[in-house]
Amino acid sequence: MSWRAAVKLAYDGRDFYGSQRQPGVPTVEDEVIRALQKVEAMEDPVAGRFQAASRTDRGVSALGNVMAFDTGFRQRSLLRALNSASERVHFYAWAEVPSSFSPRRASGRWYRYFLPCEGLDPDRVVGGAQLFEGRHDFRRFCKADGRSTLRTLDRVSVMSIGDFLVIDLEAREFLRNMVRRIVAALEEVGSGKMGEEDVSDALTGKDVQFGLAPPDNLWLMDVRYPFEFRAEAPPNLRARVGERARDAMVRLAFYDSLGSRFP
Question: How does pLDDT run across 126-176, given as a tens digit for each residue?
Answer: 999 999 999 999 999 999 889 999 999 999 999 999 999 999 999 999 999
pLDDT at 2: 95
Q: Find out whether 96 and 154 touch, Cβ atoms under 8 Å.
A: no
Q: How far apart are CA 124 and CA 120, in angstroms?
A: 8
Q: Average pLDDT in the 228-242 region?
A: 94
pLDDT at 197: 97
pLDDT at 85: 97
pLDDT tens by residue, 81-118? 999 999 999 999 999 999 999 999 999 999 999 999 99
Nearest residue to 220 (alpha-carbon basis) of 100, 56, 83, 97: 56
Query: What pLDDT band is residue 233 in, cutting at 50, 70 and 90?
Result: confident
Which of residues 184 and 1 earns the better pLDDT score? 184
Element (H, E) at 83: helix 78-85
pLDDT at 216: 95
Q: Average pLDDT in the 232-242 region?
A: 93
pLDDT tens by residue, 43-66? 999 999 999 999 999 999 999 999
Query: What percent of the chain stands above pLDDT 70?
Result: 100
Spell out the SS3 assignment of 98-143. Answer: CCCCCCCCCCEEEEEEEEECCCCCHHHHHHHHHHHCEEEECHHHCE
pLDDT at 221: 98
Contacts of residue 25, defined as CB under 8 A and 6 or more positions apart, other chains included, come to 17
List 12, 15, 57, 256, catalytic entry:
57
Lowest mean pLDDT among 6-15, 30-39, 142-151: 142-151
Query: What percent of the chain stands above pLDDT 90?
Result: 97
pLDDT at 263: 84
Q: Find out whether 141 and 202 touch, Cβ atoms under 8 Å.
A: yes
Q: Find out whether 117 and 163 touch, Cβ atoms under 8 Å.
A: yes
pLDDT at 242: 95
Please give the mean pLDDT across all residues of the chain. 96
Query: What pLDDT band is residue 212 in, cutting at 50, 70 and 90?
Result: very high
- By CB atoms closer than 10 A (0-12, 13-18, 19+), residue 36 is buried
Q: Find out whether 230 and 95 touch, Cβ atoms under 8 Å.
A: yes
Nearest residue to 71 (alpha-carbon basis) of 63, 87, 82, 60: 82
Q: What is the DSSP string of 3-63?
A: EEEEEEEEE-GGGSS-SS--TTS--HHHHHHHHHHHTTS-S-TTTTT-EES----TT-EEE
Please name each of the domains of the chain with its CATH number: 3-105+225-255 (3.30.70.580), 108-220 (3.30.70.660)
Query: What pLDDT band is residue 1 in, cutting at 50, 70 and 90?
Result: confident
pLDDT at 48: 97
Question: What is the torsional sign of CA 3, 109, 233, 241?
Answer: positive
Q: Find out whether 135 and 204 touch, Cβ atoms under 8 Å.
A: no
pTM, two decimals, is 0.94
pLDDT at 144: 87
Residue 30 a catalytic site member: no
